[in-house]
Amino acid sequence: GGIITQTPKFLIGQEGQKLTLKCQQNFNHDTMYWYRQDSGKGLRLIYYSITENDLQKGDLSEGYDASREKKSSFSLTVTSAQKNEMAVFLCASSPGTFYAEQFFGPGTRLTVL
């Protein structure tokens, strides 16, 4: 088995601030993902990466940057936090084949004051 670790668990920022979320996986999976979860809107894909140093935009990439530093880690940066923004950011990993499941971390809960 394996585990996905997301840090921090809670993140409080100020409007306009640049904020970075980190994700580590020890499944040795090739593909990693960042999702944003808002109440009533489900899971929306921000960025994904099929291998180290690869980056692919999802449906919600505007306002975010991402970095796949190595196979086991994937970071997400909120380039300019929006006032009153509240969401949960979920990291996931997968072997990368179309029939494979994605394994999710516990999430980072963002609040912008």
Smallest distance, other proteins to C-beta of residue 40, A: 7
CA distance 21 to 23: 7
* Contact flags string 3-42 toward other proteins, x per CB under 8 A: -x--------------------------x--------xxx
Binders of other proteins among 57-76, rule CB under 8 A? 58
Give the long-range contacts of residues 38-41, CB within 8 A, separation 24 or more. 38/87, 38/88
Chosen residue from 5, 13, 22, 43 binding other proteins by CB under 8 A: 43
